[in-house]
Amino acid sequence: MSDPAAPAAHTRELWFPRDGMELRAIDSGPHAGEPVVLLHGFPQRTSSWDAVTPLLHADGLRTIALDQRGYCASARPRGRRSYRLEELVGDVLALLDHLGLASAHLVGHDWGAAVAWAAAGNHPERVRTLTAVSVPHPAAFLKAMLVSDQLLRSWYMGFFQLPFVPELLLNSPGAAPEKALAGMGMTPEMIARFRDEMVTDDAIRGGLGWYRALPFSSPRVVASRVGVPTTFVWSDDDPALGRGGAALTERYVDGDYRFVELSGVSHWIPEERPVELAEAISRRARGVAG
């Protein structure tokens, strides 16, 4: 039997405008709970949080998972500059404005973490706390390329700059994309979801736009220090992101900082370790020390 004193839960799909586009988000959990905005990465969408959100709801938190620019079918602008980091941050701010929220707790995985770092660094008044997953602070990431093996790990970012070829490869029906994703740690179920949400829904080009906009993002936006309370969750078996950037991240956070390392976990932390991730998010959102 449900607790009559518990806050009412809800799930709704919402749409909001920005720059002539319509973006989509999934708003769920107790409506009166502390709001937590969830930002997915590449090549995934809001479903990547499916194992995490029920755990956050059980802890009284409200979640808003954004189907981000380039992924959402009604928000796929053409042109590399449309995917600059400042535009991606602007989408998050537009979501908060649409919901009437002055601020929210912000959580991002992979590319979503890069957006979350930039939002927290440039708009701290809109971010109550930050939980970044897998991807370190952008300045730490760039520094790690010079002092660690991160440049070798990030070879695919250069490949994604090529026109047409990455789309052809990732959209192909053959085994090559599945083999690459499995090598990154994706399960068959996750790969099937990739096929449905990214390939069938024609979201590959939009997702690649984020990589192709890297040369056009403002250095100030990328490098801004973060002063809000921050947790960084990193896994030691991530083939794309080494320890170098993880170790350097603390240098770019002025607020209360906690580093959570998960052992034996690949890049896909929300699916592999939802319990530990939800605990880290909840502890940060509730201001629990340690």
Residues with active-site annotation: 110, 211, 267
Q: Rounded distance, CA 192 to CA 45, Å? A: 13
Return the amino acid letter for 284. R
Q: Specify whether the backbone of 115 is left (phi greater than 0), alpha (psi in -120 to 50) or beta.
A: alpha
Q: Nearest-CA neighbor of 76 among 191, 210, 192?
A: 210
* Beta strand segments in the chain, E: 9-18, 21-30, 34-39, 61-67, 104-109, 127-133, 230-235, 257-262
Tokens standing for residue 108: 């991002």
Q: Which residues of 189-213 are buried (b: 16+ CB within 10 A; e: fewer)?
A: ebbebbbebbbeeebbbbbbbbbbb
Residue 288 is classified by DSSP as -
User: Using an 8 Å Cβ cutoff, are 26 and 64 in contact?
Assistant: yes
What number of other Cβ atoms are within 10 A of residue 151's Cβ? 16
